[in-house]
Amino acid sequence: MPFLIAAVAALLLTPAAAWAGTALGVVDRPDGGELKIHARPIPLTGGIAVAVAALGAAAVAGDPVPAAAVGCVAIALVTGLVDDVRPLPAWVRVGLLSAAGVVAATGGIRLPSPGWVGGILTVALVLACANGVNLVDGQDGLAGGLAAIAALGLAAVASVEGASDVVTGALALAGACVGFLAWNRPPARVFLGNAGAYAVGSILALEVVTIVGIAGWIALIACACCLGVFAFELLTTVLRRASSRGSLAVGDRLHSYDLLSQVVASRPIATVAFWGFGVLAALLSLGAARLPVWGAVAIALAALAAAGIAWGLVWREVAKT
């Protein structure tokens, strides 16, 4: 039920959000360079519809959404929206997203560690997930589809781990992303924007925190598998930019999905391939959730190794062209 409610809500709210974005000038305009690959101005306000649909559906279909969760997502959403209107310095974005994590942690949504450690780790997870989704949001349908798959995977992991409180919210997020994809599929008529990427990432982070809080730290391995595509993109981007001594905050077209798009000569095909990677990661997470610690760790390490090898092969193919 939460999936259907959120999907319908996002399907109806997204065009309204897109209209508002166009009317207010909150659009992504082509710059004639390689970074912005769309041909016309696209509204950046689709993520507002996703966040409203996800939180609203969760509230309607289940228990009331905790105020700390609403506050965290709202801060992330507003941070991204301001950044969409007028780009913020990286340190300001980090500070505001950290504040979103602090709101969640001080409101009781925090990883189970003694003292202040759990709060710090919660803030770090919100930062990582928000930026991970944002980095993947580089071509039509990619981030929305991967977020829907990851949310469904987290719902399944929550069911296995006995964290039933998470299932409703995860299904609502998945439904909201699916409804949004009707308008974001190639050629996209609206984007998530930084607002949507940060909001979706923060929701995913809070779902992971809640699952781990109920099931214990062993559940973190399964959750990490669910978010594996986002985590891999974040890791490789940071390593790549740090090794080149460039700015970590400056965008480029060297992401793994960009490279695969060059190899297969089609962005839609690359997007579908990445959806497949997301499904595989979700299935691996279910295996990890049912195994003892050593088995879960083995699955995670094997998946990371396979992803690294595939990434290297794609880089080699691109280098030949």
pLDDT in tens, 231-290: 999 998 888 887 776 666 676 777 888 888 888 888 999 999 999 999 999 999 988 888
**Average of per-residue pLDDT across 169-195:** 93
Does the structure show a pLDDT above 80 at 32? Answer: no
Q: Exposed e or buried b for every residue in 106-142, given b needs 16+ CB within 10 A? A: eeebbbeeeeeebbbbbbebbbbbbbbbbbbbbbbbb
**Cis previous bond, 187, omega within 30:** yes
Does the structure show a pLDDT above 90 at 316? Answer: no
**Average of per-residue pLDDT across 33-45:** 77
Cβ atoms 285, 153 nearer than 8 A: yes
- pLDDT score of 38: 65
Cβ atoms 294, 300 nearer than 8 A: no
Cβ atoms 123, 117 nearer than 8 A: no
pLDDT in tens, 298-307: 888 888 888 8
The two tokens of residue 95 are: 């500070």
The two tokens of residue 121 are: 């780790």
- Residue 13's pLDDT band (cuts 50, 70, 90): very high
50-59, 161-170, 278-287: segment of lowest average pLDDT: 161-170
Q: What is the dihedral of CA 56, 60, 62, 67, to 10 degrees?
A: 50
53-67, 86-100, 238-252: segment of lowest average pLDDT: 238-252
- pLDDT score of 248: 67
Cβ atoms 270, 284 nearer than 8 A: no
> Which one, of 122, 124, 146, lies nearest residue 134 by Cα?
146
- pLDDT score of 205: 96
CA 230 to chain centre: 7
Residue 27's SS3 state is: strand
Does the structure show a pLDDT above 80 at 321? Answer: no
Highest average pLDDT, of 37-46, 151-160, 162-171, 235-244, comes from 151-160
- pLDDT score of 245: 67
Cβ atoms 144, 181 nearer than 8 A: yes
